[in-house]
Amino acid sequence: MDKDASAQRFQGRCLCGAVTLTIRAEQPSMDVCHCNICRRWGGGPLMSIEQHDAPDIRGSEHVGIYASSDWAERGFCKQCGTHLFYRLKQGSFHAIPVGLFDEGGSWKFKQQIFIDQKPRNYQFADQTTVMTGQEVFDQWSASQG
């Protein structure tokens, strides 16, 4: 059976509804990034679903892009400011905030990254895989080589 055939479609949207994102996922799960940039961007850790295929975006004329580092950029709705995605400049990897999706609150909490940059003032109860920033970069480098 084709992997895509067993995947479910999920549609998320920004606060004002000008932008919708549709993704496909077999077993959706939530990851959390504690890096300084994600926390500055959203005021707290980024809770997202990771996708290795670009989402289908409707209302793309309302999407603004900010190059937040040499390797990644962040998308937002130019109408209401909703954070839409973090994506790598090379490849099609996207991290999309789970709050955009009505179903996002039921997805399994799987992994936390940049755990070495997490402030001490909060802690999640769920047991997850944790990775430091260096471990994330090492894993990414190994997959590129």
C-alpha dihedral (117, 123, 129, 135), degrees to nearest 10 = 10
**Count, residues in the chain:** 145
pTM for the whole structure: 0.89
Number of H helices, E strands in the chain: 3, 11
pLDDT tens digits, 47-67: 999 999 999 999 999 999 999
Tens digit of pLDDT at every position of the chain (145 positions): 455 667 899 999 999 999 999 999 999 999 999 999 999 999 999 999 999 999 999 999 999 999 999 989 999 999 999 999 999 999 899 999 999 999 988 999 999 999 999 999 999 999 999 999 999 988 877 776 6
